């Protein structure tokens, strides 16, 4: 048994990871958060340590006795995403932490990625490599829960209609829809992460896969479970480039206020273009599925049936 600190574990994928670890009954878990309380964590008896990522001494003290730090910090700017994680990593080194997980949980970051967010992730991954701590990069593809937006199937994740709007029977797909993508349910991500804590040595990259299908195959499954054809928009590469160029010329104050610090139209164009050119979430091959056959992730067909089949 080791002590695990999950930074940002009061919601989103972080809370699913906390629940996955608790379910095993094998490790002690604490949550680092800017907030001091959370009803779900209180219910399951998880201690929250309120922290400021600007207070190095206090942050290092909070990590005393911690073996593994898992960052699930989220944000779309350097100040809210990159810098807090670098502060967390530095504190972990000082506190004698053995293992560190950067907040990736999608596809591999890269300094030349088309996606702004993935470029923000890169400095943290690089710093982890140079820190002397054992680390791993969890790659999960797309959160399958987004396919349940409009139902309780989103779990602790915020609803987000990304490519597929199952509720309104619509889809917006890059290219001709032939691209392969990996989807993994957040609850299964929590289980895989929990299982990997028992590995004697972590691989540098820890991929997991709930399901891997072409976009058009997912579309077909969604149409079957909803019992009707979807309104589908296919976006060719040239159109995505044009959209991205136009968004680069829009000032922040002109963008949709609902998007907050994230220009969602720009993010989508970047993501779709990256999927067509390099496809960072279409990975295949050996992954945590092979290491932990006891974890049985939900496939897309069963997930869609669970959350949308009753609406037929």
CATH number of the structural domain spanning residue 73: 3.40.50.720
Residue span of the structural domain in which 15 resides: 3-135
Residue 219 belongs to a domain with what CATH number? 3.90.25
Among 102, 117, 135, the domain boundary falls at 135
Q: Looking at the domain assignment, is residue 288 inside a domain?
A: no
Q: How far apart are CA 26 and CA 280, in angstroms?
A: 33
Q: Are residues 163 and 63 in the same domain?
A: no
Q: Could you tell me what percentage of the chain is helix, strand and coil, using 3-state DSSP and rounding each to the nearest 5?
A: 45, 20, 40
Q: Are residues 124 and 151 in the same domain?
A: no
Q: Are residues 239 and 305 in the same domain?
A: yes
Count of structural domains, the chain: 2
Q: Looking at the domain assignment, is residue 188 inside a domain?
A: no
Q: Are residues 131 and 147 in the same domain?
A: no
Q: Are residues 305 and 165 in the same domain?
A: yes
Q: What is the residue-level pLDDT of the chain in tens, covering all 312 positions?
A: 899 999 999 999 999 999 999 999 999 999 999 888 888 898 889 999 999 999 999 999 999 999 999 999 998 899 999 999 999 999 999 999 999 999 999 888 888 888 888 899 999 999 999 999 999 999 999 999 999 999 999 999 999 999 999 999 999 999 999 999 999 999 999 999 999 999 999 999 999 999 999 999 999 999 999 999 999 999 999 999 999 888 876 555 544 443 446 788 888 999 999 999 988 888 887 789 999 999 999 999 999 999 999 754
Contact 84, 21 (CB under 8 A): no
Say which residues have a Cβ less than 8 Å from residue 200's Cβ, sequence separation at least 6.
none
Burial letters 104-140, b for 16+ CB under 10 A, else e:
bbbbbbbeebbbebbbbbbbbbebbeeeebbbbbbbb
Q: Looking at the domain assignment, is residue 175 inside a domain?
A: yes
Q: Are residues 304 and 235 in the same domain?
A: yes
Q: Are residues 112 and 64 in the same domain?
A: yes
User: Parallel, antiparallel, or unpaired: how do β-strands 28-33 and 47-50 relate?
Assistant: parallel
Q: Looking at the domain assignment, is residue 156 inside a domain?
A: yes
Q: Is the dihedral of CA 127, 132, 133, 138 positive or negative?
A: positive
Q: Are residues 172 and 275 in the same domain?
A: yes
Q: Looking at the domain assignment, is residue 195 inside a domain?
A: no
Q: Looking at the domain assignment, is residue 170 inside a domain?
A: yes
Q: Looking at the domain assignment, is residue 243 inside a domain?
A: yes
Tokens 């080791």 map to which residue? Answer: 2
Q: Are residues 157 and 218 in the same domain?
A: yes
Q: Are residues 53 and 157 in the same domain?
A: no
Among 113, 135, 157, the domain boundary falls at 135
Q: Are residues 109 and 169 in the same domain?
A: no
Tokens 């040239």 map to which residue? Answer: 238
Q: Are residues 95 and 217 in the same domain?
A: no
């Amino acid at each position: 048994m080791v002590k695990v600190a999950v930074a940002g574990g009061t919601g989103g994928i972080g809370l699913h990871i906390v629940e996955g670890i608790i379910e095993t009954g094998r490790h002690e878990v604490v949550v680092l958060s800017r907030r001091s309380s959370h009803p779900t964590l209180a219910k399951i008896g998880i201690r929250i340590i309120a922290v400021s990522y600007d207070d190095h001494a206090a942050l290092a003290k909070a990590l005393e006795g911690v073996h593994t730090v898992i960052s699930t910090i989220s944000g779309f700017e350097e100040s809210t995403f990159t810098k807090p994680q670098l502060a967390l990593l530095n504190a972990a080194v000082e506190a004698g932490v053995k293992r560190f997980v950067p907040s990736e949980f999608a596809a591999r970051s890269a300094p030349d990625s088309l996606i702004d967010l993935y470029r923000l992730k890169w400095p943290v991954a690089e710093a982890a490599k140079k820190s002397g701590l054992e680390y791993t990069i969890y790659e999960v593809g797309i959160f399958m829960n987004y396919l349940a937006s409009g139902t309780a199937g989103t779990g602790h994740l915020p609803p987000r209609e990304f490519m597929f709007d199952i509720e309104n029977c619509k889809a917006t797909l890059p290219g001709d829809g032939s691209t392969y993508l990996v989807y993994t349910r957040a609850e299964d991500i929590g289980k895989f992460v929990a299982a990997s804590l028992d590995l004697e040595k972590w691989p540098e990259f820890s991929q997991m896969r709930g399901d891997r299908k072409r976009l058009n195959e997912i579309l077909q499954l969604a149409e079957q479970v909803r019992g009707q054809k979807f309104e589908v928009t296919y976006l060719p590469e040239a159109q995505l480039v044009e959209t991205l160029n136009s968004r680069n010329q829009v000032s922040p104050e002109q963008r949709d206020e609902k998007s907050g610090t994230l220009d969602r139209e720009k993010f989508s164009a970047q993501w779709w273009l990256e999927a067509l050119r390099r496809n960072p979430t279409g990975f295949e091959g050996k992954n945590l599925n092979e290491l932990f056959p006891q974890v049985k992730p939900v496939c897309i067909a069963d997930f869609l049936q669970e959350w949308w089949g009753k609406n037929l």
